Amino acid sequence: MSVEILLTGANGQVGWEVERRAATHGVKVRALARNELDISDRAAVKHTIAEHAPKVVINAAAYTAVDKAESEKDLAFAVNRDGAAHVAEACAASGASLIHFSTDYVFDGAKSGPYVETDPVNPVSVYGASKLAGEDAIRTAAPRHIILRTAWVYGVHGHNFVKTMLRLGRERPELRVVDDQRGCPTFAGDLADAALALARRALAGSMTEGGYGTFHCVGSGEVTWCGFTRKIIGLAGTRLGQTPKITAITTADYPTPARRPANSVLDSTKLARVHGLTLRPWPEALAEMLDTVLDGEQHK
């Protein structure tokens, strides 16, 4: 039974959006959640991809608990390194193209400006190291791959920073948020649209040789976590029920199990140059997401 696109991790933030947006891109997706396919199970991955014979696999399955990974290293690597390798090997065996999501956390944050794809990698957390190991496994096993490095992903579905700030903004009079880490907030829906646009090209056989490889894919613009929070609360407005005070703090004021890069701003110029794809400015995408979430609550 051949399918156009096989999607793993269908219940995650990005996978959920890929499944729901596929029809608008004119493609058919067979979506598999973790309970249907655990990518850390090599035999299951091999069997599933051979059975469905997809032309493209979008691998949205991942272990994404950054802090928890510090104490669950084996599990993080089982999914993010070994799972990615299993999918890549099965894609190579079946002739499928692979689209895979990676992270800004492959970098250490020491660079002063935005990171480009060729900058040296040096993860400072278990999560970042596990995702980098997955990238390396894919490059080794699957010649026709696209690795989309993204960052600060949030969406309508699942747990994420935006939803956490909305909840805390209702519960607390003050939000203390780190202001010395910079990055690029990325709406899961926009990321899904980019992946589906690339999948369409792979399906049509119109991918040039330079079309495969590693690309940075993030919302346009950059901000700190504190600046991001100010925008979230500001755009939510009266729909939040109150307006909490937002106080900037340092990373040292808020210790976490995992180290995070001070600068994880990614430059997406290559994606625009090669594929003509540019994600929206992050405040525009955030406003759309908040309208969906908050207006949906009001109509319940």
CA distance 67 to 278: 30
pTM, two decimal places: 0.97
CATH number of 73's domain: 3.40.50.720
Confidence of residue 2 (pLDDT cuts 50, 70, 90): confident
Residue 201 resides in a domain:
yes
pLDDT digits (tens, 9 = 90+) for 58-101: 999 999 999 999 999 999 999 999 999 999 999 999 999 999 99
Evaluate whether residue 294 is within a structural domain.
Answer: no
The reply to whether 252 falls in a domain is no
What are the backbone dihedrals phi and psi of residue 150, each rounded to the nearest 5 degrees, phi first?
A: -130, -175
Q: Is residue 199 part of a domain?
A: yes
- Mark out the alpha helices in 66-160 (DSSP H runs): 73-77, 84-94, 126-141
Q: Residue 236 falls within a domain, yes or no?
A: no
Query: What pLDDT is recorded for position 189?
Result: 99
Residue type, 267: D
Residue 146 lies in a domain: yes
Of the candidates 98, 104, 138, the one whose C-alpha atom is nearest the C-alpha of residue 7 is 98
Query: How many percent of the chain have pLDDT more than 90?
Result: 95
> How many structural domains does the chain have?
1
Residues with catalytic roles: 127
Structural domain of 110? 5-160+184-221+264-280
* Domain contains 179: no
